[in-house]
Amino acid sequence: MAEKPIDLRSDTVTKPSAAMRKAMAEAEVGDDVFMEDPTINRLQSRAAEIFGREAALYVPSGSMGNLISLIAHTRPGQEVICEENAHIYTNEMAAISGVAGLLPRLIPTEDGIMSWEQIGRMIRPKMYARAPTALICLENTHNLMGGTVYPTAIAHEICDRAHEAGLPVHLDGSRVFNAAVFLGESVGEMTKKFDSVQFCLSKGLGAPVGSMVVGSKSFIDRCRSIRKMLGGGMRQAGVIAAAGLIALEEGPKRLHIDQENAKFLAQELARLPGIRLNPARVQTNIIIFDVQETGLSSGDFLAALVERGVLGVPVDRDKVRLVTHLDVDRVGVEKAAEIIGAFLREISTRRPTGSTRAV
Ligand SMILES: *Cc1c(COP(=O)(O)O)cnc(C)c1O
């Protein structure tokens, strides 16, 4: 394949802009383990300010930001309540138990959005033989359920009721700015009741690396020590934080474009033979659809698309995920839809009638 593939595997594949590279080259730096990197300090103050919090911490990845928060809120041998397909459970190498020593308690949902009604009944009554519930973790947007968004009233209710029960609530807000665009609300208002929030600079916002954790000053002080314990003290990382600052200031302003492109792509895909997808459920920049009726597994479907110049990832045997981002514009998305459409028409004529699994 001669042309550059249309890479819709994730919004993490975005490359730093010319402005970011210039800011990186010129960044003022210092040793951040002595808390003397002026660029990192600026990034942390801006993140805290945008989220209306006392403090913020720059961390190498979203996974480390979540892990640090889990450790800071709990002790080993306690339980964390989260959704069944939460990233902290499915995609972080079991660090929740392997490193933090916690037992995840999972709540299955249709769309990734839990209610207090579901969470409240999972909280352990205090009994000496039972691991106590220590934390509730929400994910907004919910990645593996298709970029779905928490209505703010539901998130606020969960936080209020959890606090009444004496439990802190962490938000895996890796794509919380996408949720904010969908809702037309500010991230500060949406997340004000959470005890901690992790968000990624390295996804749709476009930074090459990095995430932030925001919270109270005492919480962030604890997080800084835990980051060091995990080997995440980064010295002159102002070089990358400089790109992070641009991502934080400029990134959110253009996320609506990715979300319009995702909506468009979802509407195109929903028309194609063999694809099961409800475009009305695509709220942000993630599209998940079922390819079972094509007779192909998600792996075989994606392998065929690689040859035709479109990249995505499997969610499970039947489901495929595509993510829109700043490095694929409307023309790219139109082309991806055309390529997928041509492939599906090709296999639907090749397939003998009546057969569901012969290609
Ligand atoms: C991407 C992501 C993370 C963290 O990912 P890293 O690759 O470690 O930065 C955490 N939670 C969700 C929901 C994500 O989508």
Q: How far is the CA of 204 from the centre of ligand 1 (A)?
A: 12
Q: Whose CA is nearest to atom 14 of ligand 1?
A: 174
- Taken in order 95, 96, 100, 102, is the CA torsion positive or negative? negative
The angle formed by the CA atoms of residues 155, 160 and 162, to the nearest 5 degrees, is: 95
What's the pLDDT at 114?
98
Q: Which helix (H) or strand (E) holds 84?
A: none
Lowest mean pLDDT among 69-73, 82-86, 324-328, 355-359: 355-359
Residue 291 has pLDDT above 90, yes or no: yes
Instruction: Give pLDDT, residue 317.
Output: 98
pLDDT at 348: 86
Tokens 């928060």 sit on residue: 69
**pLDDT over 90, % of the chain:** 94
CA of 200 to the centre of ligand 1 (A): 7
Statement: residue 165 has pLDDT above 70: yes
Give the Cα separation of 212 and 60 in Å (integer).
9
Predicted confidence at residue 357, as pLDDT, reads: 52
Average pLDDT over residues 156-170: 98
Q: How far is the CA of 82 from the centre of ligand 1 (A)?
A: 15
**Section 84-104 average pLDDT:** 98
Compute, in angstroms, the gap from residue 210 CA to the centroid of ligand 1: 10
Q: What is the pLDDT of residues 200-224, one digit of tens each?
A: 999 999 999 999 999 999 999 999 9
Closest-lying ligand 1 atom to the alpha carbon of residue 64:
8
Nearest CA, atom 10, ligand 1 = 62
Q: Confirm whether pTM is higher than 0.85.
A: yes
Cβ atoms of 122 and 81 within 8 Å: the answer is: yes
Query: Does residue 124 register a pLDDT over 90?
Result: no
How far away, in angstroms, is 60 Cα from ligand 1 center? 11
The average pLDDT across 268-293 equals 97
Ligand 1 atom nearest to CA at 66: 10
Determine the length of the chain: 359
Residue of the nearest CA to atom 3 in ligand 1? 62
Residues in contact with ligand 1 (CB, 6 Å cut-off): 61-63, 66, 87, 139, 143, 172, 174, 200, 202, 211
DSSP three-state, residue 63: helix
**Structural domains in the chain, sorted by start:** 6-12+254-350 (3.90.1150.10), 18-250 (3.40.640.10)
Confidence of residue 358 (pLDDT cuts 50, 70, 90): very low
Q: Beta-carbon neighbour count of residue 235 at 10 Å?
A: 15
**Average pLDDT in the chain:** 96
Interval between CA 172 and ligand 1 midpoint (Å): 8
Note the pLDDT of residue 341: 98
Residue 346 has pLDDT above 80, yes or no: yes
* pLDDT of 354 above 60: no
How much of the chain, in percent, has pLDDT values that exceed 70? Answer: 97
Query: Please, which pLDDT band fits residue 356 given cuts at 50, 70 and 90?
Result: low
Residue 132, pLDDT > 80, answer: yes
The three-class DSSP label of residue 201 is coil
Helix, strand or coil, per DSSP, at residue 319:
strand
Residue 271 C-alpha from the chain's centroid: 27
Say what the pLDDT of residue 135 is: 98
CB contact burial 255-267 (16+ within 10 A = b; e otherwise): bebbbebbbbbbe
Record the tokens describing residue 289, joined without a space. 């659809």
| Helix-, strand-, coil-residue percentages of the chain, each rounded to 5 | 45, 15, 40
Whether a cis peptide bond, with omega within 30° of 0, leads into 141 is yes
**Rounded-to-integer distance, Cα 29 and Cα 44, Å:** 14
Q: How far apart are the first and last CA of the chain?
A: 22
Q: What is the mean pLDDT of residues 105-113?
A: 98
**Residue showing tokens 């390295």:** 202
Q: How many Cβ atoms sit within 10 Å of the Cβ of residue 106?
A: 15
pLDDT value for 359: 46
Integer CA distances (angstroms), 191 to 72, 87, 194, 316, in order: 18, 18, 6, 30
Give the position of tokens 């009638």.
Answer: 353
Cα distance between residue 211 and residue 57, in whole Å: 8
Task: Give the DSSP letter of residue 352.
Answer: P
